[in-house]
Structure 1
């Protein structure tokens, strides 16, 4: 394994930890900052908004610079913003710092994916890109549970300090392990952004936003669901986050296999339908600890399996703007992050309890499913998938 890929994966680990650990320490931060759980959920949305704004802006700004230089700047940003979050003096300052911390997220994954592809051996581009994204899934097994435990048992500020430390390791890894590539001169910005005028790209982005919004509606308020509804003690949340993380890692593999077996679009259709079903099922079994553990794994697997096929759909539709297209996937997913966290927080604030987010998530998944079927019909009429595999036979 090339050391440069390891450096990229470490950065992905840091980004995965800082994004998803919020779900585990949400109650602790709400208590420490003297705010409600729904208000604390805005810290999740702030990060997501930073990703959405930062992905296209930074990618356009950095795309004509050597990739190694760009990644060094982004790694330094990750290190500094998370380190400062450890010293936030109140809710408003933390809200601002979460926004700032999200800005390099999409650009890092976008530029990193392109670099990983350039480092790959012939015929192994997908494996190289997947290895970088492994850092994200491993963060959900190791980093997020560890950060949740530290945040609950000690102080949530330490958790963000650790992310800052991982940012330093990423910076050093990129500096000494990543090879230097020449920048590929891009066309003008207007031509790059022309990909967003394509109807298929517009539909894919809506599917990504709304479909992943269903996942984040569940995951954003997973900790209070465990403690307030299922009856787990706060210390158990750490272990339950491990279960969710293992499910997400399995889902990462599942999504790729389904995309290969059918097509990315059919994989998306099947997974969004399954997501809606399992989210409703969680409401039914929410008071059974054993079944909640099982469903947590299943939801993690099904929901995260959507990531690979929708990312492939985006990349296929944006081949004329390589860097921008590669970064827009994480940005769209984080719009879903903000949307899911915001919408799921509303019924909690209105007094409907901590199972209400699952209904919101199921509704978003079904809406994403409907949009996927519209995209399928559009693609069928336009014949824009010349290399797609044969559609599955429905009986």
Structure 2
């Protein structure tokens, strides 16, 4: 895989740390800013909503910009938003910084996903996506638990400052390694924006976006509220939150790595093998959450299955949107984050029920069930050869 892919993954490590780190910081943020944990959970949804709106909007605005300038600008805005967040004492301001950071993240991810697909041959998009998303999964292994521990020891603001600083080497790497190309040269030969937007009328594309959103909603719904499960249901100390996040992240890394080797040629195998266990795993985790050993094992397994299935579906989005070479990444980003926005909101609504802190786990199981039912009804889309059809559309060389 080309070196620029790994540099883009480094930037996503910083962004992924920010996107996921709230799972271990919500109780402290809620206490410090005098809001409920459910209200604080809206910060995750704010980030996701910003990415849903920002992905197509920013990608459309940036499609004629030089690639390096776009990527570098997004990283710097992302860093600045975290510096402001770390200094504020106002929940509305913190909420606003999450939206701004999400817009920057959306722009970066949309451009990076498109670049990743064009840095390799058309039949290796899944592997390229796996390398790119490894930045996010490594963030869940190292960045998020580290941020959670830093927040426990020094307060949640220290974690935001750390993310702001972490963006600096990522920006330097992009500046040094991503070649600068004139905007006119980058845009030459590509389809018009209207033609790329018309790809959204493709039922196959819309279906895989929906499935990706449902699986991601299940993932974010439970991940966002893992901290109360660890401390309240399992009865473990707060420092164990970091351990649980490490295990979920390690599982996600394993899942996305293994799926990356299969999602180009055997997407149906990943869905068929990973879907049913993922469906069963969430309610089993809810039933065994008061058993620490079972909790630790199941968190790892669910992380692996969630990211294996989710990354495969997002790879399918890139294949189905191959006729939109500069916007495909934004469609994949939107699919990811529709789920990331809806998941925590659905999960938060269950916290006030008799299920309590286990409600999000039951909700995740239901979301996966819906995804599998829809996928089964339209299984021809998932089981079709990923190398055929739209994947054969010529993609431009990287900007």
TM-score, scaled relative to structure 1? 0.91
Is residue 292 of structure 2 the alignment partner of residue 289 of structure 1? Answer: yes
8 A Cα contact 1:141 1:246, kept in partner:
yes
Classify the secondary structure of the residue corresponding to 1:52: helix
Which residue of the partner structure matches residue 218 of structure 1? 222
- Seen in structure 2, the aligned counterparts of structure 1 residues 159 and 15 have a Cα distance that, compared at 3 Å, is same
Is residue 96 of structure 2 the alignment partner of residue 96 of structure 1? Answer: yes
Which residue of the partner structure matches residue 150 of structure 1? 150
- Seen in structure 2, the aligned counterparts of structure 1 residues 287 and 122 have a Cα distance that, compared at 3 Å, is closer
Which residue of the partner structure matches residue 105 of structure 2? 105
Is residue 255 of structure 2 the alignment partner of residue 230 of structure 1? Answer: no
In 2, Cα distance between equivalents of 1:282 and 1:125: 33
In 2, Cα distance between equivalents of 1:121 and 1:193: 24
Q: Map 1:80-229 to 2 at 5 A.
A: 80-120=80-120, 127-181=127-181, 182-185=185-188, 186-229=190-233
In 2, Cα distance between equivalents of 1:34 and 1:111: 37
8 A Cα contact 1:227 1:233, kept in partner:
yes
- Seen in structure 2, the aligned counterparts of structure 1 residues 197 and 163 have a Cα distance that, compared at 3 Å, is same
Aligned match for 2:373, one of 370, 374, 377: 370
CA distances 1:121-146 after superposition (whole Å, capped 9, x unpaired): 89866545433322111111110000
Unaligned runs of 5+ in 2: 390-399
- Seen in structure 2, the aligned counterparts of structure 1 residues 190 and 121 have a Cα distance that, compared at 3 Å, is closer
Is residue 252 of structure 2 the alignment partner of residue 248 of structure 1? Answer: yes
In 2, Cα distance between equivalents of 1:327 and 1:286: 36
- Seen in structure 2, the aligned counterparts of structure 1 residues 207 and 240 have a Cα distance that, compared at 3 Å, is same
In 2, Cα distance between equivalents of 1:226 and 1:317: 39
Which residue of the partner structure matches residue 361 of structure 2? 358
Q: Map 1:324-339 to 2 at 5 A.
A: 324-339=327-342
Aligned match for 1:300, one of 289, 298, 303: 303
In 2, Cα distance between equivalents of 1:257 and 1:125: 10
In 1, Cα distance between equivalents of 2:202 and 2:273: 24
- Seen in structure 2, the aligned counterparts of structure 1 residues 137 and 268 have a Cα distance that, compared at 3 Å, is same
Which residue of the partner structure matches residue 49 of structure 2? 49
8 A Cα contact 1:52 1:334, kept in partner:
yes
Unaligned runs of 5+ in 1: 389-395
CA distances 1:250-289 after superposition (whole Å, capped 9, x unpaired): 111232244356x324423442322110001101211111
Residue 317 of structure 1 deviates from its aligned partner by 0.9
- Seen in structure 2, the aligned counterparts of structure 1 residues 121 and 339 have a Cα distance that, compared at 3 Å, is closer
Q: Count matched residues.
A: 385
Which residue of the partner structure matches residue 312 of structure 2? 309
In 1, Cα distance between equivalents of 2:123 and 2:287: 46
8 A Cα contact 2:211 2:374, kept in partner:
yes
8 A Cα contact 2:83 2:161, kept in partner:
yes
Aligned match for 1:346, one of 339, 345, 349: 349
- Seen in structure 2, the aligned counterparts of structure 1 residues 345 and 203 have a Cα distance that, compared at 3 Å, is same
8 A Cα contact 1:51 1:331, kept in partner:
yes
Residue 106 of structure 1 deviates from its aligned partner by 2.9
Residue 306 of structure 1 deviates from its aligned partner by 1.5
TM-score, scaled relative to structure 2? 0.90
8 A Cα contact 2:256 2:311, kept in partner:
yes
Bigger mean CA deviation after superposition, 119-128 or 71-80? 119-128
In 2, Cα distance between equivalents of 1:123 and 1:371: 26
8 A Cα contact 2:218 2:365, kept in partner:
yes
In 2, Cα distance between equivalents of 1:361 and 1:118: 34
Classify the secondary structure of the residue corresponding to 1:35: coil
